[in-house]
A and B are shown apart, each in its own frame.
Chain A
Amino acid sequence: MINPVVSLKYMLAGYIAIFSILGIYLASLVVRWKNLQRDLQMLKDLQEKK
């Protein structure tokens, strides 16, 4: 039988890991999306200026 306190700590570590990695990934998706939108707008403006 694993010590309950130790077990709890590892469980928390596990869930923190899950949501951290997931969170970082979702954030990266949002950031990349915003960057691409901005790039697209910039390129379209450049095109119009020509």
Chain B
Amino acid sequence: MKAQPLVLKIMNVASGLLLAGSLAMVFLYAPLEAVMNHVQKIFYFHISNAWVGMLGFIVAAFAGIMFLVKKDLKWDIVEVAAVEISLVFFLIAIVTGSIWARPSWGTWWTWDARLTTAAILEMVYLAYMLLRQGIEDPDRRARFGAVYTLIGGISVPITFVSIRLWQTIHPAIIGTESASAQGGFAMAPAMLQTMFFCLFAFSVIFATLLWHRVRLGRLAQQVELQKLEAMQ
């Protein structure tokens, strides 16, 4: 397998620096929130991780469509990579969301639309992995994966809308419909700047990780081909 291209090496360094920079901004630059105190600082990384999850979700759905159109297995490799990364980052988002919720509202889980939809998306991804595991033929595996990514890609946004609608009738946290219950709070300018910096940093991290995971996928494809050759 070819060595890492220079651009990727630069991205590795950039990702590391941006991550460090984000931490610096969160802990040294952003002010302490009046009501929630320190735990609010999770917020920046919670949102950024969810953002990466979203990016992965979109890339996966796009790659799925591209595969069905072009029939090129390259797109399948991108699709798997995007699904995996989205899975991991939404997991982090869900866990941090839960940790943030506990001291803020006294409950580990709020059945709010975003958290619940993220959890459902994780189930879709796991189903996707199980689907692929049950198929030997690489072409069929890619086709089915692409179809399911498409189905998931359309159904999850509709799920979000329906849960959101359901929620307006059953407020998640009894008695509190204020902005803070939805996770809102007044953001000072320094907080906004920190938030945007983190979002940017994690976007770069996403691109870097995606590239690495695609390389892994290509290597796996090489090994599979080599196995087939060895069996002849």
| 7 closest A-B pairs by CB | A7-B37, A14-B42, A11-B38, A43-B226, A7-B38, A7-B39, A14-B99
Q: Are A10 and B1 in contact (CB under 8 A)?
A: no
Contacts of A43 in B (CB 8 A): 223, 226-227, 229-230
Q: Does B197 interact with chain A (Cβ within 8 Å)?
A: no
A37 near B92: Cβ-Cβ < 8 Å: no
Q: How far is the CA of A50 from the CA of B83 in the complex (A)?
A: 39
> Is B117's beta carbon under 8 Å from chain A?
no
Q: Which one of A8, A22, A39, A46 lies within 8 Å of B37 (CB-CB)?
A: A8
Indicate with 1 or 0, residue by residue over B19-39, a CB within 8 angstroms of chain A CB atoms.
000000000000000111111
Distance in angstroms from B33 CB to nearest chain A CB is 9
Q: A1-B34, A10-B102, A18-B96 are in contact. List 14 more A-B contacts (CB 8 A).
A: A4-B37, A7-B36, A7-B40, A10-B38, A10-B39, A17-B92, A18-B95, A21-B88, A29-B216, A36-B223, A37-B1, A37-B219, A40-B222, A43-B226
Partner of A40, one of B40, B103, B219: B219
Closest to A50 in B: B230
CA distance A13 to B100 in the complex (A): 10
Q: Which of B42, B212, B226 is A44 in contact with, Cβ under 8 Å?
A: B226
